[in-house]
Amino acid sequence: MPAPLSVQLYSLGQAPATDLDGTIARLASIGFAAVEPIISTGASEQMLKFAKKMGGDHLPPAVDATALKRALDDHGMVAPSSHVQLPFGPHAEEILDEQEMLGSTTLVTAALFDAESGSLEAFNDLDRIKELAERFNRASALARSRGMRVGYHNHFWEFATDFDGRSGLEVFYELCEPEVVAEVDIYWALLGGRDPADLVRSLGDRVALLHVKDGNGEPGGTSTSLGDGVLDLPGVLAAATAAEWHVVELEGMDELTVWGALEESSQYLVSHGLSAPRGSER
């Protein structure tokens, strides 16, 4: 049975913040079984300022976790994974409490902010990668005590430096404990110069989640509906044999366009047997 379908709420811009119940109901109606929210609990002021400087689109919609849980329950959906701050440091228990309430068991950090440099971690220095892996290992132990696990979501910059034939991302995972999972964004991997199918095969059983998106292969371009871009989606998804959820994410689309693209993407994945239809979750 292929993995079922989730959707990254970031795809929908401000819609979840302005009409949360209606958004969840509509996602359920077009075939999604789950959502992956972005929740900024524990984010430093410095990181939030950095995200704002990068542009408003980089700030997550302000979605209340309690209201999201209520809407998910009302429409028969779940949030098995969330994008959160790494549960490490003074806000760790607060993050874990919130995710426990929401029902998320896989806590994914989508980007690591280096407070000292005031920028995102580049994965280009071996000693720094070792430090990051140790932070994830310690966060993993804390999450495990609550029946949860942590993971990392890649972009393109983790592939920029070569370490004896391995990218910084792959070196990072080699240094992490086995229960630290990978959420592989297959399109960002492509833009980073890494073959997505080869990457998920390389990471093997660590790949618990896939961010499934497509596009024209040009940096800065908007997403396309799945199947309309350059990625060999059947090949990549078939290679990710351990993936528990296919998380659809579309970027750069306005609200009118994104709903049609999400429906087309859901239909494409299910009709081609690449993802499981709603109601047949493992």
CA distance 9 to 11: 5
Kindly state whether residue 280 falls inside one of the protein's structural domains. Answer: no
Task: Output the CA–CA distances (angstroms, integers) from residue 151 to 15, 179, 189, 203, 253, in the order listed.
Answer: 26, 8, 16, 13, 27
8 Å CB contact between 159 and 169:
yes
> Residue 246's pLDDT is what?
98
Q: What is the pLDDT of residue 100?
A: 98
Position 107 in a domain:
yes
CA distance 167 to 51: 25
The domain tally of the chain equals: 1
Give the pair of three-digit tokens for residue 182: 């990978």
Residue 255 CA: distances (Å) to CA of 13, 15, 82, 150: 7, 8, 22, 31
- Lowest-pLDDT range, 20-29, 48-57, 221-230, 251-260? 48-57
- Name the residue range of residue 65's domain: 5-271
pLDDT on residue 59: 61
Q: Is residue 152 part of a domain?
A: yes
**Residue listed under structure tokens 């995972």:** 173
Using 50, 70 and 90 to split pLDDT, how confident is the model at 98? very high
Tokens of 251: 């970027």
CATH number at residue 212: 3.20.20.150
- With tokens 């970031």, the residue in question is 10
R_g (Cα) of the chain, nearest Å:
18
Taking 90 as the threshold, does the pLDDT of residue 60 lie above it?
A: no
Amino acid at 272: H
Whether residue 276 is contained in a domain is answered as: no
281 lies in some domain: no
Average pLDDT over residues 68-78: 98
Question: Which of 117 and 162 is assigned the larger pLDDT?
Answer: 162
Residue 278 lies in a domain: no
Residue type, position 158, single letter: E
Range with the poorest average pLDDT among 28-42, 46-60, 189-203, 239-253:
46-60
Would you place residue 50 in the very low, low, confident or very high pLDDT band (cuts 50, 70, 90)?
Answer: confident
Of the chain, the percentage scoring pLDDT greater than 90 comes to 83
Pairing relationship of beta strands 106-109 and 166-167 according to DSSP bridges? unpaired
pLDDT tens readout for residues 183-221: 999 999 999 999 999 999 999 999 999 999 999 999 887
Q: Are 11 and 40 in contact (CB under 8 A)?
A: no
**Residue 222's pLDDT is what?**
83
- What's the rounded Cα separation, in Å, for the pair 229 and 224? 6
Average of per-residue pLDDT across 50-63: 65
In-domain check, residue 282 = no
Residue 277 lies in a domain: no
